[in-house]
């Protein structure tokens, strides 16, 4: 694995301009993905993770949404947000692909599945012959674990089961061997056993094709398995970023603590009450000026309400944005490590 970073997001901000006002969906995100790496993007519904990732391909509606100035998305050095139409289409066709959440509705019901895959291939490689594209499509279908790939190629989406449809979607995306694959909650609509299978399949394909992956989910457990790095998102901002070891064994942000604590271990005592994070996420019409987690944070301080913390580095690639790590902050205990909370 090379240490080249292929994607750099810098201060991405995106808002929807509606009748009722401006909805600030993404409020300043910076991320980095290196070639062949898997980044897990975790957060609750509505925190902006989906919008952030669609921004990478500029798939957000641009007639009522706007990328605020200062946002940069650099793919291999080129800024996606200022690319020409032609460069953007090329980017989508060959370099970055996306898999969406709902396999039921993400495929055209009146077009054969194989044709939809081949369409993507031919669009990426215009010089390829029809037959070669078809063979490549069938081979990719096989790679994603679909039996009888030749037969399936000629079938329609409604003839596929849910799990198979999602595999087909993944095949569609990976057939062109993109440098980056973005998966937007690909297993949320499927049941747990399917989820495990899909994750396994993704892992092996990732190793085989050396594709970098951004995996969006609201379930920390899912990314534990597959991600090299994890970014925890809340209310349009990134709260903490680190690798699997950091996030699960030495998390620094109170939100991460809350998320980890709210998942009962499999052997939990059923008489002990669940520990949810109280309250609900802030309204993105008028987001708070300070740290968005203040209202629900057990360690909230006055400074959190008034100012937004700047990111602190705990190690080379472990970053946390929280006032608890400021010199003036009082001492608190990290509930996961049961030690004093320090960087």
Per CB under 8 A, does 91 bind another protein? Answer: yes
Per CB under 8 A, does 92 bind another protein? Answer: yes
- The site string for another protein over 259-278 (x = CB under 8 A, - otherwise) reads -------------------x
CA dihedral 41, 47, 48, 53 (to 10 degrees): 10
Per CB under 8 A, does 141 bind another protein? Answer: no
**Helix spans in 57-191 (H):** 85-90, 113-124, 130-143, 149-153, 162-174
CA dihedral 61, 16, 304, 273 (to 10 degrees): -70
**Range in contact with another protein (rule: CB under 8 A) among 32-40, 185-193, 216-224, 324-332:** 324-332
Sheet of 312-315: strands edge to edge?
96-99, 180-184, 212-217, 38-42, 229-234, 237-243, 318-320, 312-315
Instruction: Classify strands 65-67 and 96-99 as parallel, antiparallel or unpaired.
Output: unpaired
CA distance 305 to 189: 36
Per CB under 8 A, does 17 bind another protein? Answer: no
Per CB under 8 A, does 90 bind another protein? Answer: yes
Q: In this structure, are residues 12 and 30 in contact, taking their beta carbons and an 8 Å threshold?
A: yes
Q: Nearest approach, Cβ of 247 to another protein (angstroms)? A: 16
- The site string for another protein over 95-124 (x = CB under 8 A, - otherwise) reads --xx-x-x--xxxxxxx-------xx--xx
**Range in contact with another protein (rule: CB under 8 A) among 67-75, 125-133, 209-217, 303-311:** 303-311
Neighbour tally for 248: CB within 10 Å: 17
Is the four-CA dihedral 180, 184, 190, 192 of positive or negative sign?
positive
Per CB under 8 A, does 66 bind another protein? Answer: no
Per CB under 8 A, does 89 bind another protein? Answer: yes
Taking the least distance from each CB to another protein, the nearer of 162 and 225 is: 162
Residues that bind another protein (CB under 8 A): 20, 57, 59, 88-94, 97-98, 100, 102, 105-111, 119-120, 123-124, 156, 158-159, 169, 172, 278-280, 283, 285, 294-296, 298-307, 309-310, 312, 314-315, 323, 325-330, 342-343
């Amino acid at each position: 694995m090379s240490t080249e970073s292929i994607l750099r997001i810098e201060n991405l901000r995106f808002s929807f301009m509606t009748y009722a006002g401006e909805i600030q969906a993404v409020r300043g995100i910076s991320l980095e993905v290196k070639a062949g790496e898997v980044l897990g993007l975790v957060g609750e519904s509505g925190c902006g993770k989906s919008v952030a990732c669609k921004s990478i391909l500029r798939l957000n509606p641009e007639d009522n949404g706007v990328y605020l100035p200062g946002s940069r998305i650099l793919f291999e050095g080129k800024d996606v947000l200022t690319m020409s139409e032609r460069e953007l289409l090329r980017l989508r066709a060959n370099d970055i692909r996306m898999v969406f959440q709902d396999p039921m509705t993400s495929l055209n019901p009146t077009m054969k599945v194989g044709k939809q895959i081949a369409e993507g291939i031919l669009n990426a490689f215009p010089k390829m012959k029809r037959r070669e594209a078809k063979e490549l499509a069938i081979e990719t279908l096989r790679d994603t674990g679909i039996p009888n790939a030749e037969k399936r190629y000629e079938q329609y989406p409604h003839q596929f089961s849910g799990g198979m449809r999602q595999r087909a979607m993944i095949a569609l995306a990976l057939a062109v061997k993109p440098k980056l694959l973005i998966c937007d909650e690909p297993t949320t609509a499927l049941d747990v056993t399917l989820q495990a299978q899909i994750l396994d399949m993704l892992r092996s394909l990732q190793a085989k094709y050396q594709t970098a992956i951004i995996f969006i989910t609201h379930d920390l457990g899912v990314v534990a398995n597959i991600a090299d790095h994890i970014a925890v998102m809340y209310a349009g901002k990134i709260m903490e970023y680190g690798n699997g070891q950091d996030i699960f064994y030495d998390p620094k942000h109170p939100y991460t603590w809350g998320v980890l604590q709210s998942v009962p271990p499999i052997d939990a005592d059923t008489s002990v009450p669940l520990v949810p994070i109280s309250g609900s996420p802030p309204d993105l019409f008028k987001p708070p000026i300070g740290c968005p987690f203040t209202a629900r944070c057990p360690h909230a301080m006055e400074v959190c309400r008034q100012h937004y913390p700047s990111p602190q580095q705990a190690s080379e690639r472990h970053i946390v944005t929280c006032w608890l790590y400021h010199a003036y902050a009082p001492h608190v205990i990290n509930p996961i490590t049961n030690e004093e909370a320090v960087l």
